[in-house]
Amino acid sequence: MKIFKQKLSFWQIINMNFGFFGLQYSFGLQQANMSPIYSYLGAEESKLPYLWLAGPITGLVLQPIVGAMSDKTVTKWGRRTPYFLIGAIFCSICLFIMPYSSSVWMAASTLWILDAANNITQEPYRAFVSDKLDESQHPIGFLTQSAFTGLGQTLSYLTPSILIFFGVSKLAENENHIPITTLIAFVIGAVFSLSSILWTLKTTKEIPLSEEELNEIKACPRGTSAVFADIWQALKNMPPVMKQMIPMMFFSWYAMFIYWIYIAKCLSTTVFANRPDAFRDADLLSGQIGAFYNFIAFISAFGLAALAKRYNAKYVHAACLTFAGIGLFILPGIKDQEMVFIPMIGMGLSWASMMGNPYVILAGGIPKERTGVYMGVFNMFIVIPMLLQNISMPLYYNSLLHGDPGQAIKQAGIMLVLAAISVVFIKNENLSKS
């Protein structure tokens, strides 16, 4: 018996995606705090990208595997939701441990486990939206995830500044020189990560598989070799629209990793040059502008959903990437603390779009019975650019960029504009006006 998807109400879609809030609070903590944590523990600036290898490598390995496994998982709770819960539990444990790291390698090791947990949660979550929603609701579904990305990361970036506002000293630190505000933020993240996933599990159930779908899954080969064979087949038979998205994804995510790694260093040499406690002040400001652009992402996501539904999603995405690229290119030339927020408007629009529109473009072009494995394979287009950035940038940071984090941020801006140009060449006629 074929099961038809009913259109969900706005609040049902909110409940379904609420777990993304905790997941993205966790990602926001990493983006805002891992380079500072490594620096407080004594890491060299030019070697920072190597210490970020955990995310790309775990994503590259785990997401296609988890995606393929979730397509074939049959439990009384559903195909995707068991992965949400397992990932959220391990994520919460790692978030609690991270600020107690006593060395660079303890922090890096904890990050490996944390990223593995986040990857176990995130890929099935993308497939869950595609499974649950009618195709006409894909834009609002994926861009609601963008909204929760913006909200979760806004709060994660802003938490240290909020704590200081309420009286926690910005100079207070533990015995490993990690600020107390960072420690408290990670503990809060541990609570949010698990509780938001539990809310989604409580309020939203997966659509039961039909008898025909269950029989197809049971007839499929099982075991490790079958999982890797499924991934290989997905790579061989990749839909054309997916292949066309590769340049866009490469430029976008290489650029974003540059930004996350070097923004605090950039601000310490521009806005806070030659001031006492320059890096700590830059660390706090980078959190504030990160919160600002994520807030822009939060409030703009639903507007972008309407634009993506009315117009071709790729043109909306290209415009957002262009605004962000121009903003990052001019950012290192800004010396005024208040003015650095202006380029972040474009970053917010771009971040909302990056978290939603590529999945809108993709979802209509992949077979529904293989959504999990294709969402996992698509994640390779995110983590491979990150991995290449981690490996390649230390090789030219001191020579081509003269060891200047401001030049690194400018490079990120140029790459976002190149990503915008790449979007125009994607052919996705199924997502033109609807």
Give pLDDT tens digits for 356-380. Answer: 788 777 766 677 666 767 777 787 8
Q: Is 428 helix (H, G, I), strand (E, B) or coil?
A: coil
pLDDT: which is higher, 410 or 371: 410
pLDDT of residue 128: 79
**Model confidence band, residue 433 (pLDDT cutoffs 50, 70, 90):** very low
Query: Tokens representing 295?
Result: 């807030």
| pLDDT top residue among 95 and 138 | 95
The first and second tokens of residue 161, run together, are 């500044």
Checking 285-288 for CB contacts under 8 A at 24+ apart, the result is 285/337, 285/340, 286/32, 287/32, 287/157, 287/158, 287/159, 287/160, 287/161, 288/157, 288/158, 288/161, 288/341
pLDDT for 372 equals 67
**Residue 392: C-alpha distances to residues 51, 254, 386 (Å):** 13, 10, 10
State the pLDDT at residue 40.
86
Of the spans 55-69, 285-299, 340-354, which averages the highest pLDDT? 340-354
Residue 322, pLDDT > 90, answer yes
Determine the Cα–Cα distance for residues 75 and 285; give it in Å rounded to an integer. 46
- Residues 6 or more apart whose CB falls under 8 angstroms from that of 224 comprise none
Round to whole Å and give the CA distance between 110 and 94. Answer: 6
Q: What residues does 179 pair with on adjacent strands?
A: 173
In this structure, are residues 124 and 75 in contact, taking their beta carbons and an 8 Å threshold? no
CA gyration radius, the chain? 21
Highest mean pLDDT out of 61-75, 123-137, 267-281: 267-281
**3-class secondary-structure state, position 374:** helix
Which pLDDT band, with edges at 50, 70 and 90, does 419 fall under?
A: very high
Four-residue CA torsion sign, 389, 156, 327, 246: positive
> Would the pLDDT of 291 be above 70?
yes
Which is higher by pLDDT, 339 or 122?
339
> Quick check: 203 pLDDT over 50?
yes
Residue 402, φ and ψ in degrees, nearest 5: 60, 30
- Relative orientation angle of helices 138-165 and 344-354, to the nearest 10 degrees: 140
174 pLDDT exceeds 90?
Answer: no
- Stretch 84-104: mean pLDDT: 90
Average pLDDT, stretch 12-38? Answer: 86
Q: pLDDT at position 303, please? A: 82
| Residue-averaged pLDDT of the chain | 83
Q: What percent of the chain has pLDDT over 90?
A: 26
Query: How high is the pLDDT of residue 432?
Result: 43
User: What is the Cα–Cα distance from 313 to 140, expressed in whole angstroms?
Assistant: 12
Q: Model-level pTM?
A: 0.71
Report pLDDT for 364. Answer: 67
Q: What are phi and psi of 220, to 5 degrees?
A: -75, 145
**Between the CA of residue 274 and those of 67, 282, 334, 405, 411, what are the distances in Å?**
49, 12, 15, 15, 24
